[in-house]
Amino acid sequence: MPRLLEELQSGTPVYAVDGTPVGEVRAVYGSGTARVAEFLLVFWNKRNEEALVAADEVTNVNDDGGVVLGRSEASYSQLAAFNPSANPLLHKL
């Protein structure tokens, strides 16, 4: 099981703080030349779209490999849909 964000694979489940499944990881991104995870690209089930979540929002990577975020699903509902051209300094890890 991956224990580091940089090792997460596409399809890894994502959970809200209360344990509710909210989506899945599609990619892990760094900024500039960094090789450290700064963002997760999450496909949100209810929104049916992808949005970036800051890596510091992750509170835990479960033993089963799932990612737990620090807030409720509703608190992420205002995240803008992912637009790669609006984020030219990001690169997949």
For the chain, the average pLDDT equals 92
Domain ranges (residues) in the chain: 5-75
**Whole-Å CA distances, 45 to 3, 37, 49:** 23, 22, 7
- The CATH architecture annotation of domain 5-75 reads Roll (2.30)
In the chain, alpha helices (H) = none
pTM attached to this predicted model: 0.92
**DSSP labels, 70-88:** SS-GGGGTTPPBP-GGG-T
pLDDT band for position 80 (50/70/90)?
Answer: very high
Residue 84: is its pLDDT beyond 90?
Answer: no
Rounded distance between C-alpha atoms, residue 89 and residue 32, angstroms: 5
Q: pLDDT (tens digit, 9 = 90+) per residue, 15-35?
A: 999 999 999 999 999 988 878
